[in-house]
Structure 1
Amino acid sequence: MNKVYKFLGLPITIWLIIILFIVYIIELMNPSILNLIAFYPHYAIKYPWMFITSIFGDYDLSQLFFDGLALFFLGLLFEYLYGSRDLLILFFLSGIVGNIFFLIQYYNNPLVSGIGSSAAISGILGALGILRPKEKVIIFPIIIPIDMIYAAIFWAIFNLIGIFYPFIPLGFSAHLGGTLFGFLYGYILKKYKRKTSIDNIFDNQERIYL
């Protein structure tokens, strides 16, 4: 069942966006908090909370705006089609996988840090590309609506190129990791009879109690 959970009348997607804004306000009041929540690949194993906290931070208002805008459209679409539970699973795991890709690329550089929910949102884009390939979407820098699957593929290729030719300061590897996980998650949901929870993969498995 594609159940949408609401708190105070608002779906989970909106609450995720609200959390992004709250964290940004806290950052403005106390900029040093960025040192605690940002993802530092070189130190991530020692401080594992970075895999989660970095998903909810933003370096500046423009990053917050674009992350919030993308999450609003893609997150709400996914949530109302496949439910709040799968949205949360996809959002968090895409962000974590994105950080793992980022860690692989920059582990030996103690000066590099990253922050933002773009990898998590990239996962939603990737999943929708598999589940709703013909749905129209606008993706930067393309300003005309294109099919979701083409947008997801373009985004993956764009970030793959960016890993080797980082022409702007973006977490290309994190975006790519999130998108690839989204492809996988979308495939899982689609393959298993369009069930709405990844838990259903194990419905027909033999159960052995340990």
Structure 2
Amino acid sequence: MGNISLVTIIIIAANALISYKGFNDYTFFERYKFNVGSITRGEQFRMFSSGFLHADMQHLLFNMLTLFFFADRVIFYVGNFNFIVIYIASLVLGSLLSLYFHKNEYHYSAVGASGAVTGILYSAILLDPNMSLYLFFIPIPIPAYIFGIGYLLYSIYGMKNRVGNIGHDAHFGGAIGGFVITLIMMPSLFQTDLLMVILLAIPILILFVMHKTGKL
């Protein structure tokens, strides 16, 4: 996996440049952010462009650091082109899930690469579930699949209870994108890591059941 790939550098640079433009140009930021009312009036491009804007420097740094740590692991397994497909699909699916859950909230707005980045994170976990993650507040390594499942369960909790000013639905939609697209690209995972595929699918099934039963 070695040095950071050119594709990762380009995506990080695009996020940094576009976000910086948004930090300093309110009109630009408002024009390209995710906004339900604007999207329903025909500005679907916002579902993509909003993924390159960020609310502030901390938001940008957190997303890009996460991408930095996991992007090349995905590239190692699927290649540059397929990585880009996973990234874009996760971004769009994150926006679609946000639009679905907020379709009647015409003033709802959001920005950030979180959907795309979460898709890459979940893809990396699916491809290499035995890797360990270190979190700032936990001094011991955590198996990646435990973190992935826990993160999505927390996202469901956040969606249900509107926890914080965070697009939990975009995170979840992105994870679904990373999960599904990776399995389409590498169906051999159903043979080599079927148990892990099932475990990582559990939060997605929980979300589906909760939504169908009116609990979300």
Smaller-chain TM-score bracket: 0.7 to 0.9
**1:36/1:141 CA distance change after superposition, 3 Å:** farther
TM-score scaled by structure 1?
0.81
SS in structure 1 of the partner of residue 88 of structure 2: helix
Given residue 109 of structure 1, which amino acid in structure 2 is its aligned partner?
E
Q: Is the 8 A contact 1:91 1:120 kept in 2?
A: yes
**Number of the residue aligned with 1:106:** 102
**Number of the residue aligned with 2:180:** 184
**Does residue 22 of structure 1 match 2:17?**
yes
**Number of the residue aligned with 2:197:** none
**1:193/1:100 CA distance change after superposition, 3 Å:** closer
Q: Is the 8 A contact 1:78 1:87 kept in 2?
A: yes
> % of aligned pairs identical?
23
SS in structure 2 of the partner of residue 53 of structure 1: helix
Unaligned residue ranges in structure 2 (runs of 5+): 191-216
Inter-partner Cα distance in structure 2 for 1:88 and 1:145: 29
Which moves more between the two structures, 155-164 or 73-82?
A: 73-82
SS in structure 1 of the partner of residue 162 of structure 2: coil
1:27-48 CA-partner distances (Å, limit 9, x unpaired): 2331221111111123214101
**Number of the residue aligned with 1:129:** 125
Inter-partner Cα distance in structure 2 for 1:29 and 1:81: 38
Inter-partner Cα distance in structure 2 for 1:125 and 1:143: 20
Given residue 113 of structure 1, which amino acid in structure 2 is its aligned partner?
S
SS in structure 2 of the partner of residue 107 of structure 1: coil
Q: Is the 8 A contact 2:50 2:110 kept in 1?
A: yes
Q: CA deviation at 1:186?
A: 2.5
Inter-partner Cα distance in structure 2 for 1:72 and 1:43: 32
1:98-134 CA-partner distances (Å, limit 9, x unpaired): 0011001111112210110011011111112221110
Q: Is the 8 A contact 1:160 1:172 kept in 2?
A: yes
- Map 1:6-155; keep pairs closer than 5 Å: 11-45=6-40, 46-138=42-134, 144-155=140-151
SS in structure 2 of the partner of residue 153 of structure 1: helix
In the alignment of these two chains, the number of paired residues is 186
Inter-partner Cα distance in structure 2 for 1:18 and 1:51: 20
Inter-partner Cα distance in structure 2 for 1:143 and 1:99: 34
Inter-partner Cα distance in structure 1 for 2:119 and 2:136: 16
Cα RMSD, aligned residues only: 2.0
TM-score scaled by structure 2?
0.79
Given residue 19 of structure 1, which amino acid in structure 2 is its aligned partner?
A
Q: Is the 8 A contact 1:152 1:179 kept in 2?
A: no
Unaligned residue ranges in structure 1 (runs of 5+): 1-8, 195-210
- Stretches (4+) displaced over 4 A: 139-143
Inter-partner Cα distance in structure 2 for 1:39 and 1:19: 17
SS in structure 1 of the partner of residue 50 of structure 2: helix
Inter-partner Cα distance in structure 1 for 2:20 and 2:117: 21
1:68-90 CA-partner distances (Å, limit 9, x unpaired): 10010111221233211111100
Q: CA deviation at 1:144?
A: 3.8
Q: Is the 8 A contact 1:42 1:103 kept in 2?
A: no
